Structure 1
Amino acid sequence: MKLNNSLLILMIIGFLGCKQKPSEEKIVEVKNPKVVNFDNKLAFNEFSKLNLDDKCVNLLDPTNTSEAERKSVINSWSNFHKNVTRFLKEEKFDWEVADSTISIYNRIYFDKNGNINYYVFNINNPSITEEKKAEFENVLLKFSKDVQLDLQRNQAFSQCGKTTYVNY
């Protein structure tokens, strides 16, 4: 009887001591990019406090990108903006102005895998209304959740520049 009780106690301890191995599946991180309009002074000031320019390397800076990588970087950047244009069309986004082109200054901050963390923009056309800027911001937010730059680096990186979109 004592042997059976001892065996039973050892079995219970054994079962309680068995822990399930941690899952080896990669935990999927939820992307939550931020989009900031330069005209939104409060949001832009909050963004500026992050000092991301000090934390993210500039993608096209020659000290961060070799001459051999430069062509790949430029192609990736060009494809990124083609994807923005395609997405605007898919979303049936209409600027509702007569301007033939829309000029936008972008500062985009990516994680090391090319996912967008921050998409900061300034629309240069004075004819664009605040309502359209807000709508564009929402479209960019939707775009930023689903798109990845086809580049990877050892650390977070950024790229800025002026882009001209054809106003269809």
Structure 2
Amino acid sequence: MKKRDLNILLLLLTFSVSTFAQQSMTFDQAVKKGIYKKLDSIYPGGIDGNPEKSLFKNQDAYIKSYQQFIYELSDFLKKNNFKWGKQVSCFNKIYFSKKGTVDYFLYNFKEGELTETQAKQFDKLLKKFVKNAKFSLPTETPFAQCSPVKYNDL
């Protein structure tokens, strides 16, 4: 493949993914939309087991910033009267723009963890949260962060 063709392909992939920006959905929804693999090809992980390969060289600062981001989500949910009622396990994968804004927030709760009402309310509030949420550390490239999270009522 010629360099020009590769650049056009990357531009098209970037454009097609960016048209869905600032979305939140379950992993299953992302797979059904056909964007999950595209996202993983465009957004590298923020940290790596090998610190020299990490986008963020100060891993402690990165981890604290990510924890703060998750706390801000929890606080937003609380301020909007969301109640977990118990400790709830979730797996998140968040795709951030180079400006630190959320492009995509994917999540998955174990079956039976949430009531249908909680699931709908969480999805609705998460969609609002991602519109203004921002990762606090600067970067020069988009990146992704995934993690298990245990949510509780604050």
Task: Specify the TM-score bucket, using the shorter chain as the normaliser.
Answer: 0.7 to 0.9
Cα distance between partner residues in 1 of 2:44 and 2:30: 23
More helix by share: 2
Which residue does 1:70 correspond to in 2? 59
Q: Which residue of 2 aligns with 1:136?
A: 122
- Displacement, 1:129? 2.2
Task: Supply the AA of the counterpart residue of 1:64.
Answer: S
Q: Which structure has the larger Rg over C-alpha atoms?
A: 1
* Other-structure match for 1:147: 133
Gaps of 5+ in 1: 1-31
Match of 1:166? 152
Q: AA paired with 1:161?
A: S
The alignment yields a C-alpha RMSD, in angstroms, of 2.1
What number of residue pairs does the alignment pair up?
132
Q: What corresponds to 2:32 in structure 1? A: 45
User: Which stretches of structure 1, 4 residues or longer, exceed 3 Å deviation after superposition?
Assistant: 41-44, 47-50
**TM-score, structure 1 as length reference:** 0.70
Which AA in structure 1 matches 2:64? N
Does the CA contact (< 8 Å) of 2:44 and 2:142 recur in 1?
yes
CA contact (8 A) 2:78 2:153 kept: no
Taking the aligned partners of 2:26 and 2:88, their CA distance within structure 1 comes to 15
User: What's the CA shift string for 1:66-107, capped at 9, x where partnerless?
Assistant: 5x5111101100100110111111001123x5xx30111001
2:118 is the counterpart of 1:115? no
